Amino acid sequence: MTPYFADEWVTLYHGDALAVMANLPERSVDTVLTDPPYSSGGRRENSRTVRHSMTRRVADDDWIRGDAMSTQGYVWFNRLAALEYRRLLVPGGHAFSFADWRMAPLLSAAFETADLRIHPTIVWDKTYFGMGAIFRNQHEFIVHGSAGNPRPPQRRDVGNVIACKPIDDDRHPSRKPVGVLDVLITTVASPGGAVLDCMAGSGSTAEAARMSGRTAVLIEADERYCELIARRMSQGVLAMDGAS
């Protein structure tokens, strides 16, 4: 496989997560930290929306690839991805994957049935609330698993609610703050180890990994975002965001 971009910190592949992961060697990854399309809206399953409050993303085919998957598609895709995480992780390595309140239980089941050991779900507290019908949304979830018995953490000063302001940036619609990713990486990833993000978006995982002396293996299906990642890593195009 020829990388789209590579330097001493990051190797980026342009392609489908499942296809590229299938070509990576087993036990070659220290930590998985990824952020699949939430697919929580309702173009194909309108009943999933709360008063159509989440249709923005799924109404636009150019928005995020895969963000309009059905529930079945979401489960199928994430279970196959989780099987690859299990194969690629070193024994005891940790896997994290973002999800919203609707899809987190399904993602957790995908992890569990791929033989990843489940740990308590982590909450990303965005520090202020957005939309919502009754209790307005202020959090997202991070499903956490490990390849068998978890390796001991690198630090023990972290609770499972991580507070960090979200990013508002039209260069990538769901960019995660480096501050949240940094906490996840520095808590469990081995110094110098490789962090895999197979749905890399704007490359925030690589930036967080580099900040703390880990390398990153990225996969991104959309060439617009591969280009953005390459510029981010080589030219610092997106400023470091939200690091605590």
Ligand X SMILES: C[S@@+](CC[C@H](N)C(=O)[O-])C[C@H]1O[C@@H](n2cnc3c(N)ncnc32)[C@H](O)[C@@H]1O
Note the residues at the interface with ligand X (CB under 6 A): 16-17, 35, 37, 64-66, 172, 174-176, 199, 201-202, 204, 219-222, 225
Q: How far is the CB of 177 from ligand X (least distance, A)?
A: 8
Q: Considering beta carbons, is residue 111 or 225 the nearer one to ligand X? A: 225
The one-letter code for the residue type at 91 is P
Nearest of 162, 226, 173, 171 to residue 64 by alpha carbon: 173
Residue 3 or 92: which CB sits closer to ligand X? 3
* Least Cβ distance, residue 54 to ligand X (angstroms): 14
Q: Is 134 exposed, middle or buried (0-12, 13-18, 19+ CB in 10 A)?
A: exposed
By beta-carbon proximity to ligand X, the closer residue of 33 and 151 is 33
Q: How far is the CB of 78 from ligand X (least distance, A)?
A: 10
In the bound complex, what is the minimum distance in angstroms from residue 223's beta carbon to ligand X?
Answer: 9
CA distances from 52 to 61, 170, 198 (A): 17, 22, 29
Q: How far apart are CA 218 and CA 149, in angstroms?
A: 25
Which residue in the shown chain puts its C-beta closest to ligand X?
Answer: 201
For ligand X, the closer of residues 88 and 151 by Cβ is: 88
End-to-end C-alpha distance for the chain, whole angstroms: 36
CB of 69 to ligand X, least distance (A): 9
**What's the rounded Cα separation, in Å, for the pair 52 and 63?**
17
Return the structure tokens found at 166.
């979200």
Nearer to ligand X, 30 or 207 (CB): 207
